[in-house]
Amino acid sequence: MKSNLTWLPATLLVAVTPVYVYAGQYATADEAARRTFPEATTFKENVFQLNAEQSRAVSTQSELPDKPILWRSVIAFNAEKAIGIVVFDSVIGKFELIDYAVGIGIDGNIRNVEILAYRESHGYEVRLPAWRKQFVGKNKSSKLRVSDDISTISGATMSATHITDGVRRIVRVVDQLKLLGKL
């Protein structure tokens, strides 16, 4: 009986073909804050948690599930005057966490969205400036929804959607802080 090894070259090719992974750390919290507010003279780290009523308000306004967590942020100052805040969060992409930061000016407008760490093997395009720039200038009156005022990315639909949802939530969280006079 003759052995058929015609499958061997194809199998070896698959076994030695490298897999490109785009996961990595792309920015620190400090870098994100400085990129967002280059005119800031000082930054003050801040951790806060909304009370149950505020958290429900954010959930209702953002049309997203409640996320009662300790929020990590940095408040940017120019001299003694607060000029904005950078809020840090994580969302699930398709399978892995994406760490990101949203910078919002004292006027309530988004100044920047930074991807801090991306761990997925696909969809890294959400890190690209062209996609992130879509958020700049938007505020609590904006839809902040994929396919409405934010474009999706083929192959990164879930990452783009979850980051967009997270940004929408953070805009509402910052609005609650402003209502409390904490910003």
Q: What is the pLDDT of residue 109?
A: 97
Q: How many CB atoms lie within 10 A of CB 36?
A: 24
Provide the token pair at 87: 């809020």
Look up residue 79 and give its DSSP letter: T
CA distances from 35 to 76, 114, 124, 151 (A): 11, 9, 20, 23
Q: What is the pLDDT of residue 21?
A: 47
Q: What is the pLDDT of residue 2?
A: 55
Q: What is the pLDDT of residue 67?
A: 87
pLDDT over 70, % of the chain: 85
With a cut of 70, list the residues of the chain below it in pLDDT.
Answer: 1-23, 179-180, 182-183
Note the pTM of the prediction, 2 decimals.
Answer: 0.85
Q: What is the pLDDT of residue 19?
A: 44
